[in-house]
Amino acid sequence: MAKYIYEEVNWTDFSWQDKAINVVFGEVRLMQGKIIGLMNALGFSAKEEATLTTLTSDIVKSSEIEGELLNYDQVRSSIARRLGINTAGLVSSSRHIEGVVEMMLDATQRYSLPLTEKRLFGWHAALFPTGYSGPYEIEAGRYRTGEMQVVSGAMGKEKVHYKAVKPELVKTEMDRYLDWFNNENRLDPVIKAAIAHFWFIIIHPFDDGNGRIGRALTDMLLARAEGSGERFYSMSGQILAERKRYYEVLQKVQHSSGDITGWLDWFLHCLKNAMLATENTTQKILRKAEFWKIHEHTPINERQRIILNKILDGFEGKLQTSKWAKIAKTSTDTALRDIKDLVEKGILQQTSQGGRSANYELVDFRSA
Q: Rounded to 10 degrees, what is the CA torsion of 129, 133, 137, 143? A: -70
**pLDDT confidence of residue 355:** 61
What are the tens digits of pLDDT across the range 66-93?
999 999 999 999 999 999 998 778 899 9
Count how many Cα atoms sit within 13 Å of the Cα of residue 25 in the half-sphere of its side chain.
Answer: 19
The structural domains of the chain, ordered by start, are 5-287 (1.10.3290.10), 299-362 (1.10.10.10)
What are the tens digits of pLDDT across the range 306-330?
999 999 988 878 899 999 999 999 9
What are the tens digits of pLDDT across the range 166-208?
999 999 999 999 999 999 999 999 999 999 999 999 999 999 9
User: Which helix (H) or strand (E) covers residue 153, if one does?
Assistant: none
Query: H helices within the chain, ranges in order?
Result: 18-40, 44-65, 72-83, 95-109, 117-127, 167-183, 189-203, 210-226, 235-241, 243-253, 261-294, 302-312, 321-328, 332-344
Give the span between the Cα atoms of 247 and 52, in whole angstroms: 28
What are the tens digits of pLDDT across the range 210-224?
999 999 999 999 999
Give the span between the Cα atoms of 112 and 115, in whole angstroms: 9
Radius of gyration of the chain (CA): 23
